[in-house]
Amino acid sequence: MFAAQRMVPTQRHLRGPAGVVAVAAFLTVIAIGAGFVLFLSVRETGAAPLTVRLSELADTDITPWCDDARHVCIAQPRAGEYVALYTIDTHEVFRSKGCTVPWRPEFDLSLVNGRGHGAFRSGCSGSTFDLAGRRLFGPAPRDLDRFRAEVEGDDLVIRANHLLEQTAAGR
């Protein structure tokens, strides 16, 4: 009979491709378990940056500022925190048809999130998202995609050339 050997991981075990895969798998499990949303990819759109005066965004904690032609809405879920949402449905079938997700101020979410009226709601799929773009219900597999938004002086600059596509992590 052989005596049972106890394997103790060492630095040697974490070298090479197997180690990289092991570390990546571990970090993925941790991130998903904690409910974080990870960005799947950054897609180049070729669109020019969009600049909006901060003074135009005064009420975006209640109603988002939207540019329907560019499919972008800016909201302020928390004071001083701006999100630039891409208002095209995240469900693959409806996205391929160009289905938009407009802000619907009459939609009552008071029973869902306690915030009252208003939600982003797709007319094609019925998927519904809160002011921050988080998926509440419907067939959409993930939250609304976003653009990077940065405050520069008195302006908010939306980097519309980089679409941050989100994963369904944490769902």
For residue 23, the model assigns a pLDDT of 46
* pLDDT value at residue 5: 47
CA distance 97 to 88: 10
Q: What is the mean pLDDT of each run of 10 residues along the chain (171 residues)?
A: 47 50 44 41 68 90 91 91 94 92 86 73 93 92 94 93 72 46
pLDDT of residue 80: 85
* Predicted local confidence at residue 164, as pLDDT: 86
Q: Is residue 87 within 8 Å of 120, Cβ to Cβ?
A: yes
> Which pLDDT score, from 0 to 100, does residue 36 have?
39
Q: Which of 96, 100, 75, 91 is nearest to 141 (CA)?
A: 91
Indicate the class that CATH gives domain 39-166.
mainly beta
Instruction: Give the pLDDT confidence score for residue 147 in this predicted structure.
Output: 94
Name the residue ranges covered by the structural domains of the chain. 39-166
- Torsion angle defined by CA atoms of residues 50, 51, 54 and 58, in that order, rounded to the nearest 10 degrees: -30
In angstroms, the CA 159 to CA 162 distance is: 6
> Alpha carbon of 150 to those of 55, 86, 97: distances in Å?
15, 16, 30
